[in-house]
Copies of this chain bind each other. A is one copy, B any other.
Amino acid sequence: MTRTLAIECNKKIGKKVSLSGWVHTKRDHGKITFIDLYDRSGTIQTVGSGELISKLRPQDVIEIEGTVQKRPPSMINEKLETGKIEIKCEKIQLISKAEELPFDITKESLDLELPTLLDYRALTLRHPKIKAIFKVQEVIIDAFRESLKTRGFTEFQSPVIIPQGAEGGAEVFEVKYFEHKAYLAQSPQFYKQILVGVFERVFTVNKTLRAEPSVTTRHLTEVTTLDAEFGFIESWEDIMDLAEYVTKFMFSRVNDECRPELELHNATIPQVRGKIPRVKLREVQEIIFKRTGRDVRKEPDLSPEDEREICKWAKEEKNSELVFVTHYPTKKRPFYTYPDPDDPDYTLSFDLLGRRTEWLTGGRRINDPSELIKNAKVRGIDLEKSALYLQAFKYGMPPEGGFSFGSERITMDVLGLENVREASLFPRDMERVDVRLSTPKS
């Protein structure tokens, strides 16, 4: 008998069907047993009797043959898409028996400590609320691609293995590459710039790897970044305009396609009244000083506390849960960042903060190869080793810029998660690569 999905049963009242899926919950009522069965389409209530059904456990995989019937009016469950029907089981077959679970995953929220949540990742990912995180992330990533395709961008695949740590800094993983040393890409920066010379407008969804030695709630060693870069900008503000368009496009699709997932997390997409505010770093620091008395006006960057405060300000004063912070100091930005011609100690660069965290960083780039070589040298980077990168600028390059999103951070903040690890299917950090690498500190 051909398989019917749970959701399809709504249209098969009175018909015989065969369903396959996992046991979510079981409730015994004397001789009768209720099983909530789920498959990729949703959950459906089934009711039957007998020894087999009474012994089923959560996560058992079963096949059920039965008849779709209307529930009595008093039994209708409005919360469930199949809440007006149920399956009267006629035949049950056990396909795969689950071991007894280490904890109850039928509860509305899994009250587990993060290490346990991750030690049992193959199981905890099955929890509806956790699974929902990755449906939202899927839509965010897909919306990123779609938004840029409609603007004439070409998608490309950026390398993971690179010949040298591209942007300087020690936070790069080393790979034993046959008889040589190679490194893992911290970003697709060089490659996306090279490809502006080829396709003019490009984007990539790509793994980036950073040997972050810090264990915080916001850092992972492996991140899925969403990168875009484009040429023939008329102003560096074009780059922010594009980032704003992409972000709003993402929210709109999440809002349209992820209603149940947002509800499970009691979340709403970030609100922006009109345009996202754009504030210079030094102005941001003045605002923080005025609001809190904390004087960070000479700091070269924002602390996490500063980021939360300026997000609070944007929400209260500008009706926006997002805010662009612009003009970071030249010395704090990568060597290829374009200095502001009017004030070369600051750059034509920006971060996008969402709700409380930095989501995105971007800016205009320097395209003059000799200036790039000179700037890189100051940071201890020998750009002559990056032959392909330099080529791109030697052979004709329009004014250009771009940005990079961290998909996990957006997912985290849209859903209001506590820790970025919750927004990564298989999070990697100093202490864990699937399994714990060392005894965690107690």
Interface residues of A (CB under 8 A from B): 3, 20, 22-23, 39-41, 59-61, 95-99, 101, 119-123, 125-126, 131, 134-135, 137-138, 141-142, 152, 154-157, 159-163, 173-180, 182, 184, 191, 194-195, 197-201, 205, 207, 209, 211, 213, 221-222, 224, 232, 234, 367, 385-389, 391-392, 394-399, 407, 425-426, 428, 430, 433-435, 437-438
Q: A61-B396, A97-B396, A131-B199 are known; give 9 further A-B pairs, CB within 8 A.
A: A39-B232, A40-B199, A126-B198, A134-B154, A138-B155, A141-B155, A161-B222, A176-B176, A178-B211
- Whether the pair A191, B157 counts as a contact (CB closer than 8 A) is no
Nearest-neighbour CB distance to chain B for A293, whole angstroms, equals 39
- Whether the pair B392, A122 counts as a contact (CB closer than 8 A) is yes
- Whether the pair B160, A222 counts as a contact (CB closer than 8 A) is yes
Nearest-neighbour CB distance to chain B for A406, whole angstroms, equals 12
Copies in the complex: 2
CA distance A61 to B397 in the complex (A): 6
Nearest-neighbour CB distance to chain B for A360, whole angstroms, equals 18
Residue on B nearest A393 in the bound complex, by CB? B96
Nearest-neighbour CB distance to chain B for A249, whole angstroms, equals 17
- Whether the pair B398, A20 counts as a contact (CB closer than 8 A) is yes
CA distance A407 to B60 in the complex (A): 36
Contacts of A407 in B (CB 8 A): 157
- Whether the pair A367, B96 counts as a contact (CB closer than 8 A) is yes
Tell me which of B96, B200, B389 contacts A397 (CB under 8 A): B96
- Whether the pair B180, A175 counts as a contact (CB closer than 8 A) is no
Contacts of A395 in B (CB 8 A): 59, 98-99, 101, 122-123, 126
CA distance A234 to B98 in the complex (A): 20
Tell me which of B173, B180, B426, B428 contacts A191 (CB under 8 A): B426
Contacts A207-B157, A399-B95 known; A198 to B131 CB distance under 8 Å?
yes
CA distance A3 to B160 in the complex (A): 35
Tell me which of B40, B141, B174, B438 contacts A200 (CB under 8 A): B40
Contacts A152-B40, A426-B388 known; A174 to B173 CB distance under 8 Å?
no
